[in-house]
Chain A
Amino acid sequence: MLEYAARQAGRLALGLLGAVVIAAAVSAVGMPHARGPLPFLAAASHRLFDFVRLDFGHSAISGLPAASELAANLPATLALVGTGGFLAVLVGVPLGFLFSISSARRAAAPMTQLVTAVPVFCAGLAIAYGAVHLLHWPVSVNAAADARIFADGAFPMAAPAVLTVGFAGAAAVQLALRRAASLSSGEAFRTGLKRMGLSLLEIERIYVVPRVLAGLAASAGEILLSLFSAAVVAEWVFHRPGAADLFVKSVALEDWNMAALIVAVFAALTLLAEFLGRIAAHAIAHGDAP
């Protein structure tokens, strides 16, 4: 286990270094003297050195340090991703297990394909439509909602964005579970255990469920990627200030220092989730994760 964890930690360190290099390259694009391959390489190296010294430059839009700009916006995005992720696990895990049963999987296959084929922005707009017409919430997709409207709490303002992120996350969670179950269903140990006299339920509970959960844990990075992508769309659709929304605005206005920092942070968080997921998967499946 320790050897595995050390190997994964090494991968994480290299991944984080790579993320910083990418961010330095993106940040160098905005430098006026970085035209041509050699000046660009020099600018990227210079930015990499700055990043190592934790100098992330200034936002071209606000003029504030990029790090403090990110610190002001990141908590909102992390809260959105966190609550959306919780919802995703709450909905996606039971669905994933249900659809992993072969008869249910075949029957539900077209329906799950249809639901997961809905792009996140379409889901967001559909949720907004439902919130307005069915729940009569004053949700706006054209301008930032006025917080004063919600005298009895911020729930109606936050719920559509959380539901949108949760929808995307649930699709990723159930897909990861089904994938792990699909891999486990072909394993030779099932036949062997059946011949040894174990009931189907015992085999599922003792051997299959841990492997499927390990598969889910191993997909943590992939699930977080889908949550971040959904957060970009949800913040844009529902006009919620956050790091994901800031990223879109930064690229549109060519604020490359800000965009680079946000990409680096998202990549670092994804790599960290992947690392923790792999360790958890290794522990759950006793070194035999699918």
Chain B
Amino acid sequence: MPAQTISPSLARTLLRATGWCGLGLIAIAVALSDFLARAPAGAVGMGAMLEAPSADHPFGTDLLGRDLLSETLHGLSVTTIHALIAALVAIILGGLAGAVAARLPRPLGQSARGIIGVFAAVPALLIAIIIIGLSSRGLAPLAAGLAAAPLAFVRAFDRVDTQSSHAYYARASGIAAATLLRRDLIYEFRDTLASVAARALAAVTIILSTVSFLGFGATPPARDLGLMIAAAKTTYLSAWWTASFPAVALIALIFFARMAAGLEEGERP
């Protein structure tokens, strides 16, 4: 079918479906990572040092002779699990809390919006680094979720506040604020939950992998993709495969999450 004949809604549905299919494949790879990997995580000396991709080692080997296919699968697994935890934190403390705050009495809601808005003015990456610096690197998923939450809170708050003409009529007809909040959570938040979750997953994956790259995230032997790429900095200029395959896996995870969120239309779920 020529591209011109595809309706916008069909194109959007197709893109979202592609995103969810991609995330499904990643979920399968993560679930089966121990089975699919040829070596346990961090197993050194599986091949020669910095061996180029070959039949024995499809993704090549790194400086310590680790099989990069196995390492990438293990790294993807760690990144995805951490990102899911972080996304859950961001959704609850960000999107959900923002939607609830917007239905609080106006002075209270606006005060919460103002306070959280200050945190939203600090780059999420910096917030995550500070939280990890104050606690421990083991709490990186929680830190990434907390760092992404302020922006999600502000967006959810503004979205409910600006698009809720029904709230005006509900208040005018005497419907209680608690009833209105329950209605919003059941209908509006539920309908956008998939998009919100996918968007949060993409955002926290970027934060998590970046803090790991900067040395504040995962700790060996549980290496995530950010840490793998950071370790490949010393070799990738002469051995491209050491950073490329983990980077492709990371980009695929973010790409499919963004597609599933439907951001191609400039939406703000």
Q: Which one, A15, A180, A229, A236, contacts B123 given CB within 8 A?
A: A229
Residue numbers in B under 8 Å from A120 (CB-CB): 210
Whether A116 sits at the interface, judged by CB under 8 Å, is: yes
A133 to B125, CA, bound (A): 30
Looking across the interface, which residue of chain A has its beta carbon closest to that of B11? A106
- Given A129-B240, A182-B267, decide whether A117 and B258 contact each other with a Cβ distance below 8 A: yes
Residue numbers in B under 8 Å from A105 (CB-CB): 264-265
Whether A193 sits at the interface, judged by CB under 8 Å, is: no
Whether A119 sits at the interface, judged by CB under 8 Å, is: yes
Whether A254 sits at the interface, judged by CB under 8 Å, is: yes
A236 to B126, CA, bound (A): 13
Whether A151 sits at the interface, judged by CB under 8 Å, is: no
Whether B171 sits at the interface, judged by CB under 8 Å, is: no
- Given A121-B229, A233-B210, decide whether A270 and B122 contact each other with a Cβ distance below 8 A: yes
Interfacial residues of chain A within 23-39, with CB under 8 A of chain B in the complex: 26, 29
A141 and B237 contact, CB distance less than 8 A: yes
Chain B's interface size range is 35 or more
B118 and A15 contact, CB distance less than 8 A: yes
- Given A109-B11, A142-B234, decide whether A18 and B115 contact each other with a Cβ distance below 8 A: yes
Looking across the interface, which residue of chain A has its beta carbon closest to that of B15? A109
Describe A's contact surface by its main secondary structure.
helix
Residue numbers in A under 8 Å from B11 (CB-CB): 106, 109
A26 to B122, CA, bound (A): 13
B209 and A119 contact, CB distance less than 8 A: yes
Looking across the interface, which residue of chain B has its beta carbon closest to that of A271? B121
A247 and B133 contact, CB distance less than 8 A: no
One of B25-33, B36-44, B91-99, B249-257 at the interface:
B249-257
A116 to B255, CA, bound (A): 8
Q: How many residues of A contact B (CB 8 A)?
A: 61
A121 to B205, CA, bound (A): 13
Interfacial residues of chain B within 236-267, with CB under 8 A of chain A in the complex: 236-237, 240, 243, 247, 250-251, 254-255, 258-259, 263-267
Whether B268 sits at the interface, judged by CB under 8 Å, is: yes
Whether A72 sits at the interface, judged by CB under 8 Å, is: no
Whether A58 sits at the interface, judged by CB under 8 Å, is: no
A132 to B233, CA, bound (A): 13
A22 and B237 contact, CB distance less than 8 A: no
Q: Which one, B115, B132, B243, contacts A125 given CB within 8 A?
A: B243
B266 and A175 contact, CB distance less than 8 A: yes
Residue numbers in B under 8 Å from A133 (CB-CB): 237
B125 and A29 contact, CB distance less than 8 A: no
B133, B251, B268, most chain A CB atoms within 10 A: B133
Looking across the interface, which residue of chain B has its beta carbon closest to that of A222? B151
A113 and B264 contact, CB distance less than 8 A: yes
Whether B117 sits at the interface, judged by CB under 8 Å, is: yes
Whether B87 sits at the interface, judged by CB under 8 Å, is: no
Q: Which one, A132, A179, A182, contacts B237 given CB within 8 A?
A: A132
- Given A14-B114, A114-B251, A267-B118, decide whether A142 and B130 contact each other with a Cβ distance below 8 A: no
Whether B189 sits at the interface, judged by CB under 8 Å, is: no
Min CB distance A242 to B, Å, is: 14
A21 to B266, CA, bound (A): 34
Whether B6 sits at the interface, judged by CB under 8 Å, is: yes
Min CB distance B262 to A, Å, is: 10
Min CB distance B112 to A, Å, is: 12
A110, A113, A180, A271, most chain B CB atoms within 10 A: A113
B237 and A129 contact, CB distance less than 8 A: yes
Residue numbers in B under 8 Å from A112 (CB-CB): 264
A129 to B233, CA, bound (A): 10
Q: List 11 A-B contacts (CB under 8 A).
A: A14-B114, A18-B115, A109-B264, A113-B255, A117-B258, A125-B236, A128-B237, A175-B266, A251-B133, A270-B121, A270-B123
B contacts, CB < 8 Å to A: 3-4, 6, 8, 11, 15, 18, 114-115, 117-119, 121-126, 129-130, 132-134, 202, 206, 209-210, 213-216, 226, 229, 233-234, 236-237, 240, 243, 247, 250-251, 254-255, 258-259, 263-268
A129-B240, A263-B130 are known; give 18 further A-B pairs, CB within 8 A.
Answer: A15-B118, A19-B118, A19-B121, A21-B118, A105-B265, A107-B3, A110-B15, A113-B258, A113-B264, A114-B251, A119-B210, A129-B237, A179-B268, A180-B266, A247-B126, A251-B129, A251-B132, A259-B133
In the complex, the 9 A-B pairs of residues with the closest C-beta atoms, listed nearest first:
A18-B118, A109-B264, A182-B266, A117-B255, A251-B133, A179-B266, A178-B266, A117-B254, A229-B123
